[in-house]
Amino acid sequence: MADDANAIKMDCEAALAEAIPALEAAKEALNAITKNDITEIKTVKSPHVDVIMVMTGVCILMNVTPISKMDPTTQKKVQDWWEPTKTLMNDSEFLKNLLFYKKEELTEKQIKALQPLLSDPKFDKKHLLGINKVAANMAAWVIAMESFYRVNLIVKPKQAQLAIAMG
């Protein structure tokens, strides 16, 4: 039984090791963002479409709801993520909330909502660095959270097995 428990434990550690570099990179990316950076990005009147895309991802992970409003050019209702983004960034604890995000509580619904964004080739830190460094760093965080979710789907059941095996 001890061998089984050890094998499960090593399996868990190996799976988690896959996500750790992304999580560390995300932490570094967030630490590179200053309060002035946040102030600068939220005061932009008409942000770049790629910045909005990234911040939409942040909003999804933070359980922020878009505002439904009329697009004056198409006369159709659209989801506006920028106003809720600015509200989210107005929280003085915004960066801290991202750093200490409860990634273990991510839901399948959130991950599914992220997929159209993450499948866009422009949702890439290198691409975004040429547009806005804050958005690039936020993108790294979003990508890391999604990566952790995927690894955790594998690790969680193994951790449960480990708890039983060590019983």
Domain ranges of the chain: 2-166
Higher pLDDT, 26 or 1: 26
Q: Estimate the crossing angle of helix 133-166 against helix 108-118, to 10 degrees.
A: 140
Per-residue model confidence (pLDDT) at position 165: 66
Single-letter residue type at 71: D
Question: 2-166 belongs to which CATH class?
Answer: mainly alpha
| Tens of pLDDT, residues 135-155 | 999 999 999 999 889 888 877
Spatial contact of 79 and 68, defined as CB atoms under 8 Å apart: yes
Per-residue model confidence (pLDDT) at position 125: 92
Residue 105, CA atoms < 13 Å, CB-side half-sphere: 6
pLDDT band at 6 (very low <50, low <70, confident <90, very high): confident
3-state secondary structure of 149: helix
pTM of the model as a whole: 0.85
